[in-house]
Structure 1
Amino acid sequence: MGHGRRTVATLVAAVLMTLALPAAVAGAAEAAPRVDLRVLVVDDGGPAVEAVRTELETAGTPYTRVDLGDSARPRVDQAFLSDTVDGRARARYQGVVLPNDNPFGTGSPEMAALADYEKRFGIRQLDAYTYARPAVGLNTGWSGTLDGTAAQVTAAGATGPFGYLRKNVPFENNDRNVGESYGHLATPLDRQADGATFTPYVEAPVPGTGRPGSLIGQYTHDGRSELVVTFVYNHYQTQFRLLARGMVEWLTQGVHLGAARNYFALHVDDVFASDDRWDSQLNCTPGDVDCPPGSPENDPIRMTPADAQYARQWSRDHGLTLDLAFNGGGSESYKDAHAGSDPLAAQLLADQNAYRWINHTYNHPFLGCVQDTSVVPWRCATDAQGNVRWTGRAQITAQIEDNRAWAARNRLASDKEELVTGEHSGLRTLPQQPTDNPELAPALTQTGVTWLGSDTSREYDQRTLGPSLTVPRYPMNVFYNAGKAAEQVDEYNWIYTRKADGGSGLCESSANTTCLPGPLARDTGYTDYIVPLESRIALGHALANDPRPHFIHQSNLAEERIGYKPVEKLLADYRALFADSTPLVNLRMRDIGAELHRRTAWAAAVKDGKVTAHRIGDRVTVQAPAGVEAVATLPTGTLQLHGTSASVPFGGAYAGARSGWAAPAAGETEVALLLPGTTPSARDRAGRAARVQAPAPALPVPPGVSRRVPYGPGDTVRR
């Protein structure tokens, strides 16, 4: 391995970070146990366990799932939970997720084995959703709907696993006609069993009393620790998104494979060009393919120098760097019509260092099949033999290279490996174009493009096209053809209201679209409805450990500058929820693509069983296939070891921990990490023999948890 070996005595004597040594091996005469960095998930098919499992999978944290509904499942006994490796006791799982505090049944030997295992190795247990009752250290308390509840992190939670939050934990209430949250609020028992304690981490007021009741708390008893969660949730809901990080950190005691961060990047397309304008009389966009040929065009929408100055100041004031996807030909066309002058380009070029720049082709043509726009909707044109006619390689290449040349002439620095084609054209576009333009990949090869923007509403996952990896982007539902709020509302009503209400009725024929209950008010609909909705959808993506960028258009930064509003709300809401240690991560396009690529490789290695990781004392060792970087979250102060003496700080600081990717040092085959030391051993808090309580009865789950409640129209790609 190329690493110096510590003596057993040194390993045992170390005071270790939050991993409780078992009483049976805490003495210096015996070796510290090996604890594999893998979580055991006992699954009853309910939404709460599914939410935790999804959180682990998204972060890249290995887990083993035991399906309680599978008659052929393995039995949870001592042989399943632990063994011996190289003469050293091994715990196969570093944490245990259960549907409730005892899902196996009264007198179950499986629960008894699990309790003994947890005590022996200092392993923690997460009760994903259970009743408040004495068996978990709580009074029986109050039960009911929690929709719209304003929960709060306690002082103990803030100094413990939820310190990355400011304080507030709002519960969703998307539809007043659907129950979305249910839970139990109770105070800890006045008199706990001998040696037992209950520490609330997240509380909410008990209705009718004004007293706080626990929603999440730590129940320590009989030498074991349980995180008792007394409300039900799914992995889409904001309350879970806010609390999931702390639940996993508590469960794994701050040492685990996988990582989660909150991301937000905003691309602005069509910069230097102009965008067609929605026509409220025709209910289409003259100049675009959704209007019949010959429809009279409205004034196009284009930013002004004042809009550019505003964008620079806005970006500075809000701490968010915008990514501008530019069409140099748009500036040249403007110059041709205005005596060779383009003040907008002059202003943006003068301020270019305030932004990041992405090639969006020279003048934004459609680069897929040749479009036949004699019909609405358009179709792919064909030749005399019925073959699809494609935009040629030379035209695609020219659009990429001409835009680069324009940037070079204007001394605009952009990444030559990044590209977003107009309308993501060239990539498959359903229903008209079910395959990629076969000329696109060769053009990307010829021009050296390695990162290609795509649309999550068409294809959510990253894929390879020639030399390029796609970077899926979330479209914000602020339309490219709207520079004013009234235009946005008019088009929104047309798309999302029923025919009986004067709309197109498209929402009635689509299984993935929600209809508005009635048309939005022209004067207030944007501010009162669309802005909060789009902000919540985007915030949901940010809280889902999803680095995919969002995109709007330059038209949304012109005229009434409506594109800023949902982003401003998102940023304000985020700052109110998260501590300064947990900022939104704002990556450029290539870095987002690289992050997605690393995750894909890591997930495949984990799924194929090619990743192993364990902890012995203060040492963590990770092995993965050659070329696959490892990802982990570890305590502040963790070092990555190189050889016998050299070391560097691991990862980067985020949410009170260190997280990031790591590869073995040159000549080594594994990642070796050294943890800082803290916390007492299990011997100091062993307590009496572990007891097994009777299982909780069946728990209620409202419809809005078993089947998620959409935020509203446009919420179709919520992940």
Structure 2
Amino acid sequence: MPRFEGAPVALPLQQPDANRPLPRVQIPSSSRSRPGSVQAQGLPANRVALRILVIGPTPEDPGLQAWRALLDQLGANYEVLIASTQALTPSVLEDSAGGRFQAVLLASNNLAYEVSPGVFASAFDADEWNRLWDYQRRYAVRLVSLYTFLGTGDPVFNYAEPEDYCMRAVRPAGDEGVRTDNPATNPPGDPPLYPPVRMTLTPEGRGVFSYLNPSAEIPIQNAYLYPARLATPEESPGCSAQPLLQDSSGNVLGVLSRSSDGRERIALTFASNPYLLHTQLLGYGLVRWATRGLFIGERRHILAVDVDDWGLESDWWDEALQPGDPLRYRSEPFRISAQDAWSVYQQQRRLNASYPLSNGFMLNLVFNGRGVNLGVAASCNPGVSSGDPLSSLTKCLASRMRWVNHTRDHPSMDNITDPAALRFQIAENTRLANQMGLWYSPKTLKTGELSGLGWYRSPAPAPVVPPALPSDCPAVSGPTGPGADEPRKDFGLICANQAMLDRAVELGIRYIHGNYSVGSHKPPCPICGVALRPNLLMIPVWPTNIAYTVTTPAEAASFYNYIYAPGGRFPYWPRALTYEEILEQETNLALHHLQTSASSHYFHQANLREYAPGRSLVFDYLERLMQKYTSYYSIPVLNPSWDEIGAYVAERTQHTALLRAGITAFWDRGQGRVTISAPAGTSGVLFFTGAAQGVSWVYGGDTVSKVSLSAGQELRFSYYPGE
């Protein structure tokens, strides 16, 4: 069993900083023309690529990073222009086939950046701004400004540089902005220095963000914002607007507007970065609106929770430990009882009844065959008299939960090199699962402690390298030998146990769990895997700060504060947190992961103890998570099996490879014709949203399709937007 797996990735998300004002700038050109002064002539050009243009002033700009993160999560086809170093030339926007982009996403409305300390300018000059507006006008391309400075009512420049979004500031000049709280310096439960602003959807906003709970109160936290009002016709001639988002005072925080020359824009008046909740909640709707509902890529919200070590015992945390004490555990181990197991099933039923958006959620119970007794009879009576009541309950729950291979004995797979021993751990566990009648994922493997993947303890200097490792990898320490008390280190996947990987492939394993807290395990995109063999994909899973040794709220808080309170191993908070505060932090992070990845969070069997009637740490977490999710969303979560998750991630990995190889995708809006083709030498699965082709389904009201493209193959279909 693991002792401590290193600092998890589960601390508050707050980087890059979004709590800064947007500097005012003037466009550096004496010939600057007011937007809308050139009227549209004739019908717009019709042929545009299914590609999105993202423009930011610098690579570090938080708004640019937010757009990139959102589009990578969707698997969107996009191109980035860094405006401070790349010119917006005509060839960037158009080629001989037509427009190169179907939508434009700005990091901020003025693309302000610091050219020297304290000196700010727009990254575009007047010619570039006019070129961008002309492209929008001629191709009827929509634009979104993620962070927008407001018009000031100045008699000369009575609109925000470089153009007017039909909004005006409601606060006095020099005090236009509002700062909100930074949770990193303000523990949960303490009075906020700068309270969050709660925004709601207007009737028009409920159309753009139709997947959100129409009554959602969306917090703007750790972000600067500019409350606004709509401009009057006198202040903004020819500009029409509809508010999308507002605060509790009715101030406008997001607007859909049409310029006097007919260009459609959405502007938000608050900062964003990839990790802020409001960025994730609003991002999909902004992209969907900008692309008129047709784009390369797709989204889904997957809720998966693994509970490891089913059937085994674990160390049991001593909650009397304080930060700075030597690490120790109780003298007796902990193993859940049949009553705990039956309560888990009842808690799962209650979750689904209480939260319909949980969509029939089931736990993934990660199974070790050594811990079960095949000879006992199945029973759903937790008081059964049996050779092993937990095994009897396991047979009862066989088809009421999902199950994953965790090896028979839970050994470390870092240094087992004997083929027969490796086959036994993987194949024997499958045999036992089948004999128990478990609803089992035969293609998925989670090794004990996520071992065997280049993240291990090693003595220094290395004596003899086990034959399963390349010669330049440090030797693995034995369980009680040199280095056994050292923390795990990331030596990279090159130092994975090659013999274990070979046996896994031989036995039909196609997906193996990695660890998101290990650098070399992180995939190259949010919903991608890492290929370890042609037929073996590593998919990392998310750790939590609910330790594998804890069974009650008091134990969970004791462990957490032993690590993160002042004097702890990784001190972070300025004071110890309560269990409720820890639960709040953990589920905030889980909600972020649910929106941005396809992987599970993992717990351990001790966390399933029924510490009070109908209560366990795992379902405390799930209840709080679903409470948050349903307060924001109106679409259900998805809960596929691990084999299904693996197949999906494998397909999204192919999808990303196709995008990086350069697919060709055009939409001729005049003829209502879409053409998509794969580049020469590349084939795979491609996802797109807005039309039904190949295998298609509806999620959150949007039609999503999955097609298989061979190299050079061309897909054609008709499409007309629904508006």
| Paired residue type of 2:224 | Y
Structure 1 residue aligned with 2:574: 517
| Paired residue type of 1:56 | L
Does residue 427 in structure 1 map to residue 453 in structure 2? yes
Give the alignment's Cα RMSD to 1 decimal: 2.8
Report deviation, 1:64. Answer: 2.0
Q: Distance in 1 between matches of 2:514 and 2:125?
A: 55
Q: Distance in 2 between matches of 1:66 and 1:170?
A: 30
Q: Distance in 2 between matches of 1:247 and 1:254?
A: 10
- SS of the aligned residue for 2:540 comes to strand
Structure 2 residue aligned with 1:620: 674
- SS of the aligned residue for 2:178 comes to strand
Q: From 499, 515, 518, give the equivalent of 1:455.
A: 515
Structure 1 residue aligned with 2:600: 549
Structure 2 residue aligned with 1:507: 570
| Paired residue type of 2:541 | R
Q: From 84, 97, 103, give the equivalent of 1:95.
A: 103
Residues 293-334 of structure 1: CA deviation (Å, up to 9, x unaligned): xx8853322222222222222223323111111112112499
Does residue 39 in structure 1 map to residue 57 in structure 2? no
- SS of the aligned residue for 1:125 comes to strand
Structure 1 residue aligned with 2:167: 138
Report deviation, 1:187. Answer: 1.2
Q: From 313, 321, 346, give the equivalent of 2:362.
A: 321
Structure 1 residue aligned with 2:536: 468
Q: Distance in 2 between matches of 1:267 and 1:368?
A: 22
Q: Distance in 2 between matches of 1:447 and 1:160?
A: 48
Does residue 591 in structure 1 map to residue 644 in structure 2? yes
Q: Is the 8 A contact 2:165 2:257 kept in 1?
A: no
Structure 2 residue aligned with 1:190: 232
Does residue 600 in structure 1 map to residue 653 in structure 2? yes
CA distance 1:431–1:363, change in 2 (3 Å): closer
The unaligned stretches of length 5 or more in structure 2 are: 1-39, 112-121, 152-158, 172-176, 182-195, 353-360, 377-383, 459-475, 477-490, 524-528
Q: Is the 8 A contact 1:132 1:141 kept in 2?
A: no
Report deviation, 1:415. Answer: 2.5
Report deviation, 1:163. Answer: 4.6
Does residue 368 in structure 1 map to residue 376 in structure 2? no
CA distance 1:253–1:220, change in 2 (3 Å): farther
Bigger drift between 486-495 and 569-578 goes to: 486-495
Report deviation, 1:107. Answer: 7.1
Residues 215-255 of structure 1: CA deviation (Å, up to 9, x unaligned): 34334431111111111110110011100011111111111
User: Equivalent residues in 2 for 1:315-394 (5 A)?
Assistant: 315-319=348-352, 320-332=361-373, 341-369=387-415, 390-394=416-420
Bigger drift between 341-350 and 163-172 goes to: 163-172
Q: Distance in 2 between matches of 1:112 and 1:529?
A: 50
Residues 47-102 of structure 1: CA deviation (Å, up to 9, x unaligned): 112211221123121222221221xx24333x4322443xxxx1111111224445
Structure 1 residue aligned with 2:29: none
Structure 2 residue aligned with 1:129: 147
Q: From 180, 199, 202, give the equivalent of 1:151.
A: 199
Q: From 586, 590, 608, give the equivalent of 1:538.
A: 590
Q: Is the 8 A contact 1:153 1:162 kept in 2?
A: no
Does residue 445 in structure 1 map to residue 505 in structure 2? yes
Q: Distance in 1 between matches of 2:282 and 2:704?
A: 18
- SS of the aligned residue for 1:126 comes to strand
Q: Distance in 2 between matches of 1:445 and 1:83?
A: 47
Q: Distance in 1 between matches of 2:559 and 2:631?
A: 32
Structure 2 residue aligned with 1:232: 271
Q: Distance in 2 between matches of 1:125 and 1:430?
A: 48
- SS of the aligned residue for 1:306 comes to helix
Q: Is the 8 A contact 2:338 2:390 kept in 1?
A: yes
Residues 142-190 of structure 1: CA deviation (Å, up to 9, x unaligned): 32124411100111111234453433243254xxxxxx21111111113
Report deviation, 1:414. Answer: 1.6
Report deviation, 1:340. Answer: 6.5
Q: Distance in 1 between matches of 2:419 and 2:322?
A: 35
Q: Is the 8 A contact 2:343 2:610 kept in 1?
A: no
Does residue 567 in structure 1 map to residue 593 in structure 2? no
- SS of the aligned residue for 2:372 comes to helix
Q: Distance in 2 between matches of 1:241 and 1:349?
A: 41
| Paired residue type of 1:603 | T
Residues 470-505 of structure 1: CA deviation (Å, up to 9, x unaligned): 121111211111112222222222212333xxxxx4
- SS of the aligned residue for 1:629 comes to strand
Q: Distance in 2 between matches of 1:313 and 1:84?
A: 63
- SS of the aligned residue for 2:637 comes to coil
Q: Distance in 2 between matches of 1:612 and 1:564?
A: 45
In percent, how many aligned pairs have the same letter?
26
Report deviation, 1:40. Answer: 1.4
Residues 30-60 of structure 1: CA deviation (Å, up to 9, x unaligned): xx72111111122112211221122112312
CA distance 1:321–1:197, change in 2 (3 Å): same
Q: Distance in 1 between matches of 2:77 and 2:88?
A: 20
Report deviation, 1:195. Answer: 4.2
Q: Distance in 2 between matches of 1:300 and 1:570?
A: 29
Q: From 341, 346, 349, give the equivalent of 1:308.
A: 341
| Paired residue type of 1:48 | G
Q: Distance in 2 between matches of 1:111 and 1:220?
A: 14
- SS of the aligned residue for 2:264 comes to strand
Structure 1 residue aligned with 2:36: none
Residues 319-377 of structure 1: CA deviation (Å, up to 9, x unaligned): 31111111121124998xx99712222122122221111111112122213xxxxxxxx
Q: Is the 8 A contact 1:397 1:443 kept in 2?
A: yes
Bigger drift between 141-150 and 151-160 goes to: 141-150
CA distance 1:578–1:334, change in 2 (3 Å): same
Report deviation, 1:428. Answer: 1.6
- SS of the aligned residue for 2:442 comes to coil
Structure 1 residue aligned with 2:631: 576
Bigger drift between 145-154 and 611-620 goes to: 611-620
Q: Distance in 1 between matches of 2:631 and 2:665?
A: 39
Q: Is the 8 A contact 1:184 1:215 kept in 2?
A: no
Q: Distance in 2 between matches of 1:398 and 1:529?
A: 43
Report deviation, 1:533. Answer: 0.9
Report deviation, 1:611. Answer: 4.3
Q: Which has the higher contact order (CA 8 A, sep 6+)?
A: 1
Q: From 418, 422, 441, give the equivalent of 1:415.
A: 441
Report deviation, 1:673. Answer: 3.2
User: Equivalent residues in 2 for 1:168-207 (5 A)?
Assistant: 168-171=216-219, 173=221, 180-191=222-233, 193-205=236-248
Structure 2 residue aligned with 1:245: 284
Q: Distance in 2 between matches of 1:667 and 1:93?
A: 23
Q: Is the 8 A contact 1:321 1:355 kept in 2?
A: yes
Q: Is the 8 A contact 2:272 2:279 kept in 1?
A: yes
Report deviation, 1:574. Answer: 0.4
Q: Is the 8 A contact 2:414 2:456 kept in 1?
A: no
Q: Is the 8 A contact 2:84 2:123 kept in 1?
A: no
CA distance 1:300–1:631, change in 2 (3 Å): same
Q: Is the 8 A contact 1:254 1:633 kept in 2?
A: yes
- SS of the aligned residue for 1:403 comes to helix
Does residue 397 in structure 1 map to residue 423 in structure 2? yes
Does residue 652 in structure 1 map to residue 697 in structure 2? yes
- SS of the aligned residue for 1:551 comes to strand
Report deviation, 1:573. Answer: 0.7
Structure 2 residue aligned with 1:478: 546
